[in-house]
Structure 1
């Protein structure tokens, strides 16, 4: 669980951001200033990545990035109208609002990292591609086969100790099949 970010930390970030970046849409400046001046509302603000998955969120972009200037998400609806989002902010001050800031080198910005929170609405496998999923499946299969191999080897030792010849032959055959199956993964 992440430590909550204080209103002062959020306010400091927004102030720093407004002083260092030119926004693509002037209404975004109004919204950020409004947030800075209303601490109760700012306490409901969460800075996240991939805001499009959130029930109520804004995407605000600075000059110099290819992202759209402004987007507001509410439920299944997305709009570019900053005034509608501003109205929604004022009318629903107790609801959490998630904000994604798009600006040059955002991933390397320590000031942004201080206020950035994990997006609770982001699908768990969002950043996994097909290759990653296949590799995870392969590793799991290898792990299970190696565990099964250790079990069979233990049973072989037991069969040898107790002189159980037929069981020993069957287990050796099973071990050879398993080793052949394991070669397919390695």
Structure 2
């Protein structure tokens, strides 16, 4: 019974959004109409106000919104073609879909969106996705910094070799081995254990 009430509220919210606003990308209404026709998918759809860190996310903007007109990310891959998106939602249905209907905020408080409170489990998942995304960003930055330093050291080694500076060359090669080769071997041993 409670699920039926939530489905009704979600459908009411989508219909209110579609009737009240003109969309920046008109064909995006096909995706919303598809959601309205699939109760199973709509049951696992959650309305949020930010999709930055979420793997299965959709942004559909009203013409008065300052956000991008349309964005679809499914399993962390971006899609633009509406028919392809509908196909994926129908045949490779994500466990959860987070939808941000972007519009002027005053409207939000005048509609049924107030009834669509985020369930605590979903709030925890959103937080979890955000933490993972921050950690992934930090790891990526560390890898990029390491690769940059590795390239810089190789350039310094080449320069020392070109200049015939044997002392500097030996120092840099020893340091390079210590920083990059020894750590790779240690990582390889840890993976094999």
TM-score category, normalised to shorter length: 0.5 to 0.7
Residue-by-residue CA offset, 1:93-127 (whole Å, 9 max, x unaligned):
36211101111126852422322526432337xxx
RMSD: 2.6
Equivalent pairs, count: 123
Q: Is the 8 A contact 1:72 1:81 kept in 2?
A: no
Is the deviation greater in 95-104 or in 84-93?
84-93
Which structure has the bigger radius of gyration?
Answer: 1
Offset at residue 34 of structure 1 (A): 1.3
Deviation (angstroms), 1:53: 1.1
Which residue is equivalent to 1:51?
A: 51
**Normalised by the size of structure 2, how large is the TM-score?**
0.55
Unaligned regions of 5+ residues in structure 2, if any?
A: 132-193
Q: C-alpha separation between the residues in 2 aligned to 1:113 and 1:92?
A: 30
- Give SS of 2:16's match: helix
Q: For 1:106-125, list aligned pairs within 5 A.
A: 108-111=108-111, 112-117=113-118, 119=123, 120-122=125-127, 123=130
Corresponding residue for residue 83 of structure 1: 83
- Name the SS for the 1:52 alignment partner: coil
Higher normalized helix content (fraction of residues): 2
CA distance in 2, matches of 1:114, 1:46: 12
8 A contact 1:40–1:93 mirrored in 2 = no
Alignment CA distance shift 1:7-1:75 (3 Å)? same
Asked if 2 retains the 8 angstrom alpha-carbon contact of 1:60 and 1:69, the reply is: yes
